A and B are shown apart, each in its own frame.
Chain A
């Protein structure tokens, strides 16, 4: 691959979300913005290798796309023009003139050849267009859109993933994913979902939805054990990147910081949690030398600062739990009592049978399997967990620790009947065989 293509690929990866966010603001349309950005990158691919990269590639791309959008509108207007469309074009042309003027004031022009010193200095601190990514993410994660549409739209627009990549990441057929994106964009347009950062009094509620989308993207990449490995890796990386953007743009939101910490601490175990044949390796059996110490350091700093600045929210508590695991040099050194205390707080903030199950497992580690079993007994009457394979799997694990082999085998069989993914099934089959050999 030649240098020009490489530069362009890098810029597309790093900047397309931010460029698109600004274009949507300028043009008032997701589709037009996407088309115009595509054309601008095509122009860049032709020109940059010959003329050199402009001093501020992002500003150049935005400005070029803006011109392209007006061209696109003019061309379509000739075919079937009505008054509203013509007015829109006139408005965009005026805006374009203003933007060009603004670019000149920043020492940049759309023909910038990359030899402009003033332009070079203007790169980040003095950005002519500002950062519109926060508007974009709040619009993509608007509660009036279905959760799966929020996730897809965020990955498509902010992360620049292709529809095909998103479809593969979520194990959904391509036409289904394409349809999902089209419908979401139609709803934004037709229902007039505003392109703005919500006002202060709505921010907390709306941020919950944004954080959940980022967390879902991460989890999809982290927990799914079938499908394309590269794409799943990409999903985790993109979720972490989104987490960083949120922390940078909303520095006072401690839950955003805690979510980033949580993702980093989980991701740090990536290389240790899967065996050579793709089988999952439990936390207590992982080779801790394989954990990524840079991610752990960053995650620990973030979670500490989040806990210092505000009362702990659900992400801060989960990050604190992950932090305790990473602090233990060996599995036996894990401070289970503290983990129990954190799960109890989490259960109070976010009551759910799944948190209760985790609490029971932590209690079993802190106080012995027998106490854990009595907690599981209480959980088993809960209808929500009837088909949840981790419940019989947890029971089987505690029975195994108590050397009650036949009962453990029976529970493993029940878990196996409910488990969906292959990696989990393989693990359960292995354990079941162990139990049967001992019984």
Chain B
């Protein structure tokens, strides 16, 4: 069973951190990523560039509409993600709770849809 762990936090708070504090955070993330690689949970994971770099694309009436930024203003922004393999939701929740940002922001745990492959 695969889950996407979406990491939401306040970008402004991250920017306010001192360099030393940011370095500590990166170190924690590095250790966390290592640990979930060793436990076999890790499938993928990335930090995202800040929301100011985001672009939104829509197609309406076959025309492409490209705009700056995300559609809605929210308190917390999507700052990164992990894709994990977990036994069940409790296992995924236990991994999510260990993500360093869980202490400041929030982690959304979303199961991945598995489309049945019809065998011929």
Residues of A bordering B, CB below 8 Å: 82-84, 142, 144, 190-194, 196, 198, 202
Contact = CB atoms under 8 A, between A and B. Distances in A.
B10 to A, nearest CB: 24
Contacts of A190: 111
Contacts, number: 30
Given A144-B89, A198-B90, A192 B111 contact: yes
B17 interface: no
Given A82-B118, A82-B119, A192 B93 contact: no
Given A144-B89, A144-B93, A192 B118 contact: no
A144 B116 CA distance: 25
B89 A191 contact: yes
Interface string B82-100: 0000011111010000000
Interface residues on chain B, size class:
10 to 19
A193 B118 contact: no
B116 A84 contact: yes
Given A82-B117, A194-B90, 16 more contacts: A82-B118, A83-B117, A83-B118, A83-B119, A144-B89, A190-B111, A191-B109, A192-B1, A192-B89, A192-B111, A193-B88, A193-B89, A193-B90, A194-B89, A194-B91, A202-B90
Interface in B64-120: 87-91, 93, 109, 111, 116-119
A30 B61 CA distance: 43
A190 B110 CA distance: 10
B86 to A, nearest CB: 8
A303 to B, nearest CB: 33
Nearest to A85: B116
Contacts of B88: 192-194
A142 B119 CA distance: 35
A130 B109 CA distance: 33
Nearest to A192: B88
A380 to B, nearest CB: 31
B36 to A, nearest CB: 18
Nearest to B118: A82
